[in-house]
Structure 1
C-alpha cells in the first residue's frame, strides 16, 4: 500500500512539474512570436 502511495505522489509531482514546464514553454513561445513580429516590422520599416 505504501509503495502505491509513493508512486502516486511521484506521479503527481511529475505531472505538476510537467505542467510548469509546459506553462514556461508556452510563455516563451508567445514572447518569441511577439519578438519575431516586432523585429519583422522594424526591418520592414527600416528598408522603406
Structure 2
C-alpha cells in the first residue's frame, strides 16, 4: 500500500482552507493533489 504524501494534520489543514472558502480546484493546483483525492479526504473526515 502506498503511503500518503500528506500526514493527517496536513490533510486537515488543507480541508480547513476548503472550509474557509477556497475552491477545490485552487487547492488541487496549490498542493498538487487531484480533485478526486480532495473529495475523498472530505468524505472521510465526515
Q: Considering only CA atoms, is the larger Rg found in Structure 1 or Structure 2?
A: 1
Give the helix-richer structure, 1 or 2. Answer: 1
Instruction: Give TM-score scaled by structure 1 length.
Output: 0.30
Kindly indicate whether structure 1 or structure 2 has the higher relative contact order, using CA contacts under 8 Å at least 6 residues apart.
2
